[in-house]
Amino acid sequence: MATIRILSRILSVLSTVTLLWTQSGECNNGRRSGDAVDTDFSGFSVPLEHSFEVDDVPRFHLRGALQLRGGRENSVYLSQNQLSEKDRSTLKDVAAVDGLYRIRVPRVSLQVDRQTERQSEGYLTTFVRACSLVESHLSDVITLHTDVSGYIIGISIVTIPGSCRGIEVEDEVDLEVFNSTISVVAPVTAPAPETAPYIERMEQEMEKKGKNPQEQKSFFAKYWMYIVPLVLFLMMSGAQDQSGGGAGEIQFSVEVSSQL
Amino acid sequence: MAWLVVRLAISVSLLYAASAVFEDQVGKFDWRQQFIGKVRFALFDTHSQASKKLLVATDKNVFASLNSRTGDLFWRHVDKTGPEGHIDALLMYGQDAVVVVGNGRLLRSWETTVGGLKWETVLDTGSFQAAALVGVQDLVKYVAVLKKSAISLHDLSSGSQIWVENLPDSDSVQYQTIYSGGNGVVFVLGVVPNSHIVIVEYKIEDGEIMNKKSVEAVWMSSLESSCAVVSSGILLCVDQITQSLYTLPLQSAEQTEMRQIHLQMLDLEVVSGFRPVLTSTQPNPAQPPLSEFFLQLSPDHHILLQFIDGLIAPLRDFNPSYLAAFATSGERTVAAVMSPKNDTACSINLFSADTGRRHLDTTIIYHMDPNGGKPNRLYVHAFLKKDDSVGYRVMVQTEDLTLTFLQQPGRVVWMREEALADVVTMEMVDLPFTGTQAELEGEFGKKAAIQDGLLPMVLKRLSSQFILLQAWLAHLWKLFYDARKPHSSVKNDVTIDILSRDEFNLQKMMLMVTASGKLFGIDSKSGTILWKQYLENIQPNSVFKLIVQRTTAHFPHPPQCTLLIKNKDTGLGSLYVFNPIFGKKSQISVPALPRPVIQTLLLPVIDQDYAKVLLLIDDQYKVTAFPSTKNVLQQLQDTASSIFFYLVDSSQGKLSGFRLRKDLSTELIWEVVIPTEVQEIVAVKGKRANEHVHSQGRVMGDRSVLYKYLNPNLLAVITESTDTHQERSFVGIFLIDGVTGRIVHEAVQRKARGPVHFVHSENWVVYVYWNSKFRRNEFSVLELFEGAELYNSTVFSSLDRPYAPQVLQQSYIFPAPINTLEATLTEKGITSRHLLVGLPSGNILSLPKMFLDPRRPELVSEQSREENLIPYAPEMPIREEWFINYNQTVSRVRGIYTAPSGLESTCLVVAYGLDIYQTRVFPSKQFDVLKDDYDYILISSVLFGLFFATMISKRLAEVKLLNRAWR
């Protein structure tokens, strides 16, 4: 129960993006799996294994159990053991040599009806630097990624904070209990071109124009009070020019006649 | 009113993005070269003496007419790719060329002067076997097409079908050739392998079967390759197992067995393992063929034989000889034979076909390119000279697809490099400095200074200064010399020796790797081929990867490129190391690669000679370093824990990450498995290593900054669903960190299908897919942002980025199909980006990235206007002025390569497919270059004017002051 409380606390701290992701993923998954068998809600559990060795050769052993629940909502709970005295010292040693802390889960499907055909085809592995795990006091965020059909395709682990600054973690108590946040992320549906809202918006614009006769007035109708004086002014000045032009013409004709 | 503003905003933004060329800029910095591919059929127009036409049909489904004087294209028709547009046969009579296309699907007649289509007929289904012109009474009137089970006769002037007849027993007999000697009948020859030959005789008028007989021929497997018709309808076959020639008069009814003539009787022998080839010639389809023919006994042994009165007599033995061909001009038929002269040259001689006598003074010396392949086809154009002797020109095609047109006494009239019609991959390399610049570099090079004393240093400096002065004077002299000559006569012949980097690094060396295994070094400014190198023994299904290990920046070390050639079937690879500027093979010893190479990795680690280290990972995850000096191995050991790489196994849907260990072994650190039952990985792309991003974020309307998620290790993985039903098919997009294997983003584009083209750059991915529901092409853009603040602004580490980025996505309709997609690239990444879209029409569209921005708002607000965001519109516009290649279309564009130049505003673009087109694009206009029509005189006169004005007024003021003081 304690883990769940911690879990909820960290969830609130988590960036909203992750939350959004998870939610949309869940929605999406729920929609698709509507036709799946809804009766079996018991879920199932898969082992979460970890490995941290000074010589960096992976030797996985059990860290906890993932309670997976398919169906409408892909929910997951992690129940895990405390780190033993020996593990803690190993972890610190691994961190000291900048080794890796690896975790793995078997490849499974979250869809309950597919559980029967499930076989142990292999594992999905990932890692984090052991030092960052130690320095974050075992605060890690584990994300399971599924594909459209609910298969787990990848697992990722990050620690918060994620950096290795070389801070000494003296207090052994800090390395006893994992402070884990775990979530399942399904793919989001990429948006298609939004033609319908666009057309709607265009129509609204048109309607607005139609309703508002002020808008419909032509350019001339709106600004005639400016245009008329301008034109008048131009005509006035133009008339003067014309008279000049006329004189030129006369001159020209005179020239022509003289040539003749 | 708001709508008006929106429209105004759009038009203003479009104005800003418009990037067409002006008319007077055409050809100024762009060029196009058109190619045809490997020639399968070539016919010279012998219709008139003065004709310059050469008709060719190629394996790229191109039918074209070349100018035989210059090698330029008169016209070119590019048909569909694949078997649909495959040219099966090319026949020519007079002004008409008849072409059978698409495994006998279409019969077309072309007018050869302008390349217009005269007529086209759709033929009945059935796989194509042979086609021949059919003449009656010295006039060629028909064309006969033989299919697997039917023969049809068509009128040559209209294409209308005269008759079509089914072939008897076509399910057991393989009909393969047609023969007509102009005597009113058409012979169709078929074979039942290792049993007998079937000869069916059709009447030309109505297609009635006049005669049908079968002749025993147990030794025969195929007619096409081993038989020919000579003299007045004598079928002549050769068999290498029995070492004999067989003859059979086609028309005689009584002879039911082929007459065997042992080659031994002629003192001839076919080399074991070689399939002998018979070549006969029929100058006029309305008349029977000549009685002379060539028999090829080994790859370099031909013999000219004559068939007279049932006897075969040798006329002339050509040993050694590579190629032989007949040619006819008027009534005279000649034979041209290419024989080796010495190691580097061949001589081609002309012989009269009927006697085998050599024509005097007809030798053409053909110099073989030491970096090229062997000649493998010879096409002869014979013509009658004024003194009634026969002159000729030849076209030689080599293994490396070079067409060389020669005339006596060996002058190369023109040359075409048809290997360039199939460019696989390319790179652009900076040109080296000039000798003088290099000299200066050398002076301050690493080996200088330290050992030398003061005096040698001074002397060295003086000498280099002198060289500089000399070069400058030479340059001035050249300028003066060129200026005196009329502009047109200034030749722009480019050679490697005078090539040097220009001021803005706009001229580069284009390295092109072609499918035939020929490498080219091309000057990007003019398109001149500066060097070429043919790599022999390249398997046709090889995969190439070109890596630039050392650029020209490390004088005196020559630049170095490495080509990894990998056999697609076995996966075995080999390395070819060369100097990209001169094309010379490097003397550096390359590591042997006994195991299939599955991944290559170019590290930023450099050895003491400034070559970047290339890691090759084989199928047992063993790592080979190249170069692998002690220095490199030491550096690798030191940095091993930060060297990560990924592998993709699309057959299992597996992506896995590895880390290098100190002993150069590897360890698996992450694994992502995408089940192949649902979707298949079709492409994985990282970012380009030479890409720079200038701004870390985007300034929003409210003056806050939205930081980009710039992960250099990010991989974009595209998958396609295995279910192809239009409602259920989808395209998957995964963004995976290549170091940690963390899935950063995972999206599914529903009701979508491939082929997917995509570009991954900066903080965005743009992909194009086919929407199977609405049947249209759509663009989608994904942008990743860290948010309002950066997690760690100094350095990016995949191992220390705990928060996932925000992902924004938007999609648009694109109203055209596309062939390829690429993004522009500039030196510092300040210039705005454009997407270059290769369209099947041959145009290249330069689409501003601005239009592909997921932050384009639905409704215009003050803030979005502040940010210069274009309001969202679902359809992407295509504007003609965005076509960067105006009317210079690139046929079958397959790839676009972009490279930065020394100018930030300018990006060099090369589009390749059947054609090659090179140009420059200026996505944000030429903001760092003065315009061509910049008014220097005005600005300088204003400057001088102001200068003198200040001088004069200063003087006046002084005088005035002095006067005042005196007062």
Per-domain residue ranges of chain A: 43-185
* CA angle centred on B30, ends B24 and B34, rounded to 5°: 120
* CA angle centred on B944, ends B942 and B948, rounded to 5°: 115
Return the number of other C-beta atoms located less than 10 Å from residue B967's C-beta.
5
DSSP character for B257?
B
Contact by Cβ (8 Å): B166, B174 = no
The pLDDT of residue A214 is 57
Angstrom distance (rounded) from CA A38 to CA A222: 66
* CA angle centred on B397, ends B395 and B399, rounded to 5°: 165
- For residue range A7-65, list pLDDT tens digits in order: 344 333 333 333 333 333 333 333 333 333 333 445 778 889 999 888 878 888 888 88
Which amino acid would we find at residue B566?
Answer: K
Q: How far is A253 from chain B (nearest CA, A)?
A: 42
Distance from first CA to last CA of chain B, Å, rounded?
Answer: 70
CB-based contact, A156 to chain B, within 8 Å: yes
Residue position matching structure tokens 């009584």: B254
**Contacts of the segment B104-107: beta carbons below 8 A, 24+ positions apart:** B104/B128, B104/B129, B104/B145, B104/B147, B107/B143, B107/B145, B107/B154, B107/B159
Contact by Cβ (8 Å): B435, B915 = no
Angstrom distance (rounded) from CA B864 to CA B694: 22
CB contact under 8 A, A205 and B732: no
Strand B345-352's sheet: what is its strand order?
Answer: B323-329, B332-340, B345-352, B364-367
Burial of B572 (0-12, 13-18, 19+ CB in 10 A): middle
CB contact under 8 A, A153 and B672: yes
CB contact under 8 A, B746 and A122: no
CB-based contact, B764 to chain A, within 8 Å: no
The pLDDT of residue B472 is 85
Give CA torsion, residues B277, B280, B285, B287, to 10 deg: -140
Tokens standing for residue A75: 């929910």
The pLDDT of residue B485 is 65
- For residue range B211-262, list pLDDT tens digits in order: 888 888 888 888 887 888 988 888 888 888 888 888 888 887 677 788 888 8
Interface test with B, best of A118, A140, A153, A184 (most B CBs within 10 A): A153
Q: List chain B residues with pLDDT less than 50.
A: 1-2, 5-6, 8-9, 12-18, 446, 489-491
pTM of the full structure: 0.84
**Contacts of the segment B271-275: beta carbons below 8 A, 24+ positions apart:** B271/B297, B271/B298, B271/B299, B271/B301, B272/B240, B274/B240, B274/B298, B274/B299, B275/B225, B275/B226, B275/B240
Residues of B in contact with A158 (CB under 8 A): 742, 801-802
Interface test with A, best of B639, B801, B803 (most A CBs within 10 A): B803
Residues of B in contact with A132 (CB under 8 A): 799-800
CB-based contact, A53 to chain B, within 8 Å: no
**Contacts of the segment B552-555: beta carbons below 8 A, 24+ positions apart:** B552/B429, B552/B430, B552/B431, B552/B432, B552/B433, B552/B501, B552/B581, B553/B430, B554/B609, B554/B610, B555/B432, B555/B433, B555/B438, B555/B441, B555/B442, B555/B445
Contact by Cβ (8 Å): B305, B352 = no
Residues of B in contact with A122 (CB under 8 A): 671, 673
Between residues 51 and 80 of chain B, which touch chain A (CB distance below 8 Å)?
none
- DSSP 3-state assignment of A204? helix
Strands (E) across B148-291 are located at: 150-155, 161-166, 174-179, 185-192, 196-203, 209-216, 227-230, 234-239, 244-249, 259-262, 277-280
Return the number of other C-beta atoms located less than 10 Å from residue B454's C-beta.
7
CA distances from B361 to B347, B351, B389, B391, B404 (A): 12, 11, 11, 10, 21
- b/e per residue, A7-27, with b = 16+ CB within 10 A? beebeeebeeebeebbeebbe
- DSSP 3-state assignment of B408? coil
Which tops the pLDDT comparison, A117 or B661? B661
Angstrom distance (rounded) from CA B217 to CA B257: 8
The pLDDT of residue A34 is 36
- DSSP 3-state assignment of B400? coil
Angstrom distance (rounded) from CA A179 to CA B141: 91
The pLDDT of residue B419 is 92
Return the number of other C-beta atoms located less than 10 Å from residue A106's C-beta.
17
- ipTM value > 0.90: no
CB-based contact, A24 to chain B, within 8 Å: no
How many residue pairs bridge chain A and chain B with CB atoms within 8 Å of each other? Answer: 145
* CA angle centred on A26, ends A24 and A29, rounded to 5°: 110
Angstrom distance (rounded) from CA A212 to CA B164: 74
Angstrom distance (rounded) from CA B647 to CA B621: 10
The pLDDT of residue A112 is 60
H-helix or E-strand spanning residue B660: strand B654-660
Residues of B in contact with A121 (CB under 8 A): 673
Burial of B361 (0-12, 13-18, 19+ CB in 10 A): exposed
- Pairing relation of β-strands B390-398 and B375-384? antiparallel
CB contact under 8 A, B669 and A148: no
- b/e per residue, B887-900, with b = 16+ CB within 10 A? ebbbbbbbbbbbbb
- For residue range B921-961, list pLDDT tens digits in order: 999 888 888 887 888 999 999 999 999 999 999 999 999 99
**To the nearest whole percent, how much of chain A has pLDDT over 70?**
66
Strand B820-823's sheet: what is its strand order?
Answer: B820-823, B834-838, B844-848
Between residues 93 and 132 of chain A, which touch chain B (CB distance below 8 Å)?
98, 100, 102, 107, 121-129, 132
The pLDDT of residue A246 is 38
Give the residue among B925, B920, B932, B934 at the shortest CA–CA distance from B905.
B925
3-state SS, one letter per residue, for B882-900:
HECCCCCCCCCCCEEEEEE
Contact by Cβ (8 Å): B89, B109 = no
